Structure 1
Amino acid sequence: MPTLHVVADGNMPHVEAWLTGRVQSLVRQAGRTLSSADLAGADVLLVRSVTQVNQALLQGTPVRFVGSATIGTDHIDLDYLQQQQIPFAYAPGCNAQSVADWLLSILSRLHLDHDLCWWQQTIGVVGVGNVGSVVVARLRQLGVRVLVCDPEKHQQGLLPDHLDLAALVASCDILCLHTPHTRTGPNPTDQLFDQALLATLRPGAWLINAGRGPVVVADALLQRLRGGELNAVLDVWPEEPRVPQALLAEVALASPHVAGYSLEGRANGTAMIARQLAQWAGLSLPDAVPRPPVRPLEAGLYYQDDIRQWASELVLAVYDPARDTATLGCSVQDGQVDAAMFDSLRKHYPTRRELHSVPIAQAPPALRDWLSRLGFSRFM
């Protein structure tokens, strides 16, 4: 057995199942408060998105491998790792299906609560990477008119239907953000959606952000929401991990950065990092870590005359974002959800399964067709 000492974020699932008995020690730490002192004896650091991995954290530690079980790298100082010749692994695309499912749950709740026939709307997707591309494919499978914007992919010749951001924003009824948070480069996204850009959205349009919070200017968004000119759904927050009550009160649906938090998405992230660590260290891993079975949903229990309403009820039976909205609202103290509470909500987040893993019993053909396009794949 290699002499490896591993420190892992306490919120990363299945690490023990992959590594126990294959490394010398495995210690869990809170990702938000992780310090250099916690890494005094660590060869391997495994994190999620809340830990800033940089010189301040790693200098003077024996860490020789860093893995992040997430799709993004904006919390990682890649230049420093390269300078120090520390291998880095991450998990692009691990939770793409989870985020697409989250979005469809959001749209299902808006359908039932706000009579939003989203499949008849023009939906703009900004950021067409590992997550955004899955979202686009799922929406187009449902017959939705989807506009896309991703300058980097377009410049690489990979997105021929790319629209300029200003044109896309002005043309859509629902705007979905799946962008990384970047401050440099040819297309920085930091505070991209400012007062001027938000003002070009159609009156009554919906802004749905499941990318990164700081791409939206908080005050500008709040002003538009209070004026009744815009509707919003936020999974990520401009001042995350702090969520001001003033902004929370104005959004239709809210969650604590958990769009990608399905059991499958989080497990995929850990599995991808474990395998890259194993390749680096020469570890022998199990072929897979079993996932718990899912109880079938009986379609008849959710019956509605309208097929799409019926389907919305079934999507919400798997995951209802109204629950997260209520939980965040109940977590406000002294005018905000503070960082400690925000992290606690994520750490203790209830198990959520992806649509494709949930069996549906006794669905008639017309319902089954729509459910299949939504992402369900197991019918009984």
Structure 2
Amino acid sequence: MITLLADRNIPYLSHFIHPEVNLVLFDPEERLPGRVSADALIVRTVTRINKETLPKQLEKTLRFVATASAGTDHLDLPFLEKKGIHVASAAGCNARAVAEYVATALLHWCYSNDESIKRTQVGIIGLGHTGSAVDQLLRKIGYRTLLHDPPRKKREKSFDNSYPKSLIQCDVLTFHVPLIDVTLTPQGYRRTRNWLNEERIRKGDFRLVINASRGGVVDERAVKDAYITGDLNDYIFDVWEREPSPAPAVIEDAWLATPHIAGYSIQAKVRATSMVCEALHHFFSISFQPEPLNLDDLPSFEKVFEVERKLDEIANMRSASFPESPLPVLETIHPMFGLSARLKQSAHHDEQELRTLFTRLRTREPLRNEYHTYRIPERILSKFPVLEALTSL
């Protein structure tokens, strides 16, 4: 049977892997072990795989690399292809989680600034699995959207692709693209680094920027300068140019700052692990059908009952105390502002402490559950119809 080297922080891996696979775990905060021979490797986005980072001993035996994440820009695909190493990913695994993050953050911003949902137009850059999920959820809530994805337009002539000059006239821009440094890839994808630059900010009318894709897609310095001069009202960042030690000044001025967790949910993690394990079994011709994972039995699912208890408390409030907006409900289900406050506090530390705290907030916080897992009391749903869209699949 094969040997699999895997990131120790990939949840439920042993459940989805054939019991006879020799599973060896490594610490992603350290280098890949140099004296391990393995047939397969499964990593997360925090581990870069290229000629410099892949140990020679491992390079000799490796036939399969997978990332338990939607993106692959931390993998040097041409290098792995040249070595004859098969690559797999969990594309689309966290699309719903990211869509919920964007929708929740945008609802917070709109309600806090008395912005009309129906009059707010959102420009979505990137319409792959995640961008499409964001578009679907935002339209379900009531937002108007403009879409931008030139490669998709080439594949689908009927796709309604908006040009950048139209897109930057939207009220909000949200990014869902991979980070591409070259002018044009063999697959036809164009450069995305600094897609949002000083020139587009100067020419645009948008008031809010959301980046939940990759650090570097947005020019942070240009965004920061525009915020200081008043040319941009706010920005919401979940990803950063210098992870895991982003620029403290950029963190401090963000309307919402989170440590690259937009795609994190218990359901997304289960999907990702299941997808890469299925790909591994298929590649090595291993016949294995794991038992369905009962989410009700997982420790994180205990939080569902805790959250539902808090929702019941809100629903049972007297009329005079009942919330005027859905914001307390949103923060109860998706506590992003508590996390933001802790990340902003960490920005006051030196770089090494910031790096440690950023990594800790990203990897050690309990995973949240997606909206559809919760039973929301009818009184809350009738008062705030936007929650219906968030809880329905």
User: TM-score if structure 2 supplies the norm length?
Assistant: 0.87
Q: 1:309 to 1:84 in 2, by over 3 A?
A: farther
Q: Once superposed, what is the RMSD of the aligned Cα atoms? A: 2.5
Partner residue in 1 for 2:156:
157
Map residues 30-49 of structure 1 onto 2, 5 A cutoff.
30-35=27-32, 37=34, 40-49=36-45
CA distance in 2, matches of 1:302, 1:87: 56
Partner residue in 2 for 1:136:
135
Deviation at 1:251, TM superposition (A): 0.7
- Which secondary structure does the structure 1 equivalent of 2:112 belong to? helix
Map residues 61-76 of structure 1 onto 2, 5 A cutoff.
61=58, 62-76=61-75
Q: 1:218 to 1:369 in 2, by over 3 A?
A: closer
The size of the alignment, in residue pairs, is 371
Deviation at 1:368, TM superposition (A): 7.3
Partner residue in 2 for 1:284:
288
Partner residue in 2 for 1:339:
355
- Which secondary structure does the structure 1 equivalent of 2:209 belong to? strand
Map residues 300-339 of structure 1 onto 2, 5 A cutoff.
300-301=315-316, 310-332=325-347, 333-334=349-350, 338-339=354-355
CA distance in 1, matches of 2:352, 2:220: 14
Deviation at 1:221, TM superposition (A): 1.5
Alignment match of 1:54 (pick from 44, 50, 54): 50
CA contact under 8 A between 1:19 and 1:285: conserved in structure 2? no
Q: 1:304 to 1:371 in 2, by over 3 A?
A: farther
Alignment match of 2:8 (pick from 7, 10, 15): 10
Q: 1:360 to 1:272 in 2, by over 3 A?
A: same
CA distance in 1, matches of 2:274, 2:129: 17
Deviation at 1:60, TM superposition (A): 3.4
- Name whichever of 180-189 and 124-133 sits farther off: 180-189
What percent identity do the matched residue pairs reach? 28
Alignment match of 2:26 (pick from 25, 29, 33): 29
CA contact under 8 A between 2:34 and 2:57: conserved in structure 1? no
CA distance in 1, matches of 2:218, 2:389: 31
Q: Which residues of structure 2 form unaligned runs of 5+?
A: none
Alignment match of 2:223 (pick from 217, 221, 233): 221
CA distance in 2, matches of 1:60, 1:95: 33
CA distance in 2, matches of 1:53, 1:202: 39
Q: Check if 1:374 corresponds to 2:390.
A: yes
CA contact under 8 A between 2:6 and 2:42: conserved in structure 1? yes
Amino acid aligned to 2:95: A
CA distance in 2, matches of 1:168, 1:331: 34
Amino acid aligned to 2:331: L
Partner residue in 2 for 1:173:
171
- Which secondary structure does the structure 2 equivalent of 1:275 belong to? helix
User: TM-score if structure 1 supplies the norm length?
Assistant: 0.89
CA contact under 8 A between 2:4 and 2:41: conserved in structure 1? yes
Over 4 Å off, 4+ runs: 301-305, 307-310
Partner residue in 1 for 2:180:
182
Deviation at 1:120, TM superposition (A): 2.6
- Name whichever of 146-155 and 364-373 sits farther off: 364-373
